[in-house]
Amino acid sequence: MTGAVRIGNCSGFYGDRLAAMREMLEGGELDYLTGDYLAELTMLILGRDRMKNPEGGYAKTFLRQLEDCLGLAQDKGVRIVANAGGLNPAGLAAAVRALSDKLGLGVRVAHVEGDDLLGRAADLGFGDVLTANAYLGAWGIVDCLQSGADVVVTGRVTDASVIVGPAAAHFGWRRTDYDRLAGAVIAGHVIECGIQATGGNYAFFTEVADLTHPGFPLAEVHDDGSAVITKHPGTGGQVSVGTVTSQLLYEITDGRYANPDVTARMDSVRLTEQGTDRVAITGAVGEPPPPTLKVSLNSIGGFRNTVTFVLTGLDIEAKAALVRRQLEAALPTRPAELQWNLARTDHPDADTEETASALLHCTVRDADPAKVGRQFTSAGIELALASYPGFHVTAPPGDGQVYGVFRPGYVAAGKVPHVAVHADGTRTDIPAADDTRELRPVDDTPLPEALPDGRTRRVPLGTIAGARSGDKGGNANIGVWVRTEEQWRWLAHTLTVPALRQLLPETAEFTVTRHLLPNLYAVNFVIEGILGEGVAYAARFDPQAKGLGEWLRARHLDIPERLLP
């Protein structure tokens, strides 16, 4: 095959726009339509779902979308690949077959399994967990598609694999076609999160003409692995070098982006505007994948509860100290974890009561629900007439809620089964990669030449820089990029790890590493442990670190006037 294969996306998470599948099928030409429904938190949600119903454990919204669109996809010759199978891809495949029969369509449905390691978790050294799922690659999907499947559902494959699979199947790539595979991984990484590639969550969102109802993205992937990111004509949003750069920086580490099939060199990528809403991705370099697979491990951490006290007006710090002392003295038994956080949202001489108020959060965690339940919240409420002036809280007393804990694990790829299960029930074992390379950080990227000294102005970093941040387990990343070579020379020398710690004091106690991506005019920071034990643990105000980048952009520093708009 020599022409580009058009691979669209209709879901970036479990809960994304329900109408997106129909919009993508009706909006223009596609060869494949993919969807990413899984995230670290989603696996926990599906794990609890499976505890209640062993027949569950998959993304039910995918079935609702197919009920509306399966006939349309078949009429248009579009094949569908999605990781909506979650913890039960076989169950979802059976449900899709039943739906196909009900609609009289005769759709061929295959699935990929083997990622679920829960039954072997103890033997593999993962302990007592709720879910244990290895991140599989794309070759099971390839086998299903090359065997004629119209719909392929998977469990925990990597997010990009649902795009890599169709591209590799379409062109007949080999497992050692690393540059081609790397290009598809990078294109997949761009479109996997849906509208984040077409203007959603974009730092310069005010430049996007219409974000009322942005369209979902698609990738035109070529046989050499290069791709063009675009969207259907007439849809809202925008595809630009900026929106694609922003998504490339999402939830990465350094210049190497490891997948089970290839390690893609993010520092090799070049982006070129090809016209309205068309951005070419070229130059991708691939290396052999690492010998291990990452494993998503979720467990029930215990029970959690929070009381938020509202402190209004004067003497905020003294009011906080008083109620903290009173509540800790009143608790009959101290929970295993008790955390206080004072958010100084108050303003002096405020003209509304809300802007005159600060919020004092007390969060507790314990394995015993009684210690974080009514005995905790009631102890706070009992202070209502005995504490600081203006006492009130944001919610009535309540019981504690279960919280989850995420941690990554690693296992030799050869120890994980990877099985393609075809529409007729036949099974194909997919071997692990036999050409592998230990993953090492890129640490030799040279700095560009520094800018000469000149007049500066103290303004927000976001005046010239975009940012995108996100979570990976307990870690967070912040990718920061600029748009010109001169701005890049300044950014690379100025936004160092010490500078980041000064601008974002909440990062001071954590290990922070910085990685340069010169082709993107970008730096990426990884902040280890700032999110505690994952998003469900809720260790901080922004548990998924989605706003860290915007906080950084809002901080002021001295920027050369020659770089300012």
pLDDT average, residue stretch 307-330 = 98
Q: DSSP letters along 413-451, please?
A: GGGS--EEE-TTS-EEEPPPPSS---------PPPPPPP
Predicted confidence at residue 415, as pLDDT, reads 97
Contacts of 20 (CB under 8 A, 6+ apart): 10, 11, 65, 194, 216
Measured in residues, the chain has a length of 565
Distance CA 36, CA 281 (A): 21
Per-residue pLDDT at 130 exceeds 80: yes
Per-residue pLDDT at 1 exceeds 90: no
pLDDT tier for residue 369 given thresholds of 50, 70 and 90 = very high
Distance CA 173, CA 167 (A): 8
Alpha-carbon distances of 309 from 39, 312, 335, 337, rounded to whole Å:
32, 10, 19, 18
pLDDT average, residue stretch 317-329 = 98
- Selection from 363, 357, 349 nearest residue 388 by Cα: 357
- Selection from 261, 189, 213 nearest residue 12 by Cα: 189
Q: 300-405 — its CATH code?
A: 3.30.70.380
Residues linked to residue 220 through DSSP beta bridges, in sequence order: 6, 228
Tokens standing for 435? 């050409």
Per-residue pLDDT at 479 exceeds 90: yes
pLDDT average, residue stretch 377-404 = 95
Residue whose token pair is 């194909």? 428
Quick one: what percent of the chain has pLDDT higher than 70? 100
Distance CA 385, CA 452 (A): 62
pLDDT tier for residue 538 given thresholds of 50, 70 and 90 = confident
3-class state of residue 26 by DSSP: helix
Quote the crossing angle between the two packed helices 316-330 and 374-381, to the nearest 10°: 130
Distance CA 88, CA 59 (A): 9
For 147-202, where are the E strands, in sequence order?
151-154
Residue whose token pair is 């050409």? 435
Amino acid at 113: E
pLDDT average, residue stretch 322-346 = 97
Predicted confidence at residue 444, as pLDDT, reads 81
pLDDT tier for residue 443 given thresholds of 50, 70 and 90 = confident
Q: Tell me the per-residue pLDDT of 42-63, one tens digit each, with 9 for 90 and over.
A: 999 999 999 999 999 999 999 9
Predicted confidence at residue 2, as pLDDT, reads 61
Are 136 and 293 in contact by the 8 Å Cβ rule? The answer is yes
pLDDT average, residue stretch 437-442 = 95
Contacts of 195 (CB under 8 A, 6+ apart): 12, 17, 214, 215, 216, 217, 237
Tokens standing for 164? 């890599």
pLDDT tier for residue 368 given thresholds of 50, 70 and 90 = very high
Question: What is the rounded average pLDDT for all residues in the chain?
Answer: 97
Per-residue pLDDT at 564 exceeds 60: yes
Distance CA 14, CA 363 (A): 27
pLDDT tier for residue 188 given thresholds of 50, 70 and 90 = very high
For 397-545, where are the E strands, in sequence order?
401-412, 419-421, 427-429, 456-460, 466-472, 475-481, 511-517, 522-528
Distance CA 241, CA 404 (A): 37
Q: Tell me the per-residue pLDDT of 240-297, one tens digit each, with 9 for 90 and over.
A: 999 999 999 999 999 999 999 999 999 999 999 999 999 999 999 999 999 999 999 9
Distance CA 330, CA 380 (A): 8
The b-or-e profile of 355-374 (16+ CB within 10 A means b, else e) is ebbbbbebbbbbeebebbbe
Quote the crossing angle between the two packed helices 20-27 and 60-76, to the nearest 10°: 10
Contacts of 333 (CB under 8 A, 6+ apart): 371, 375
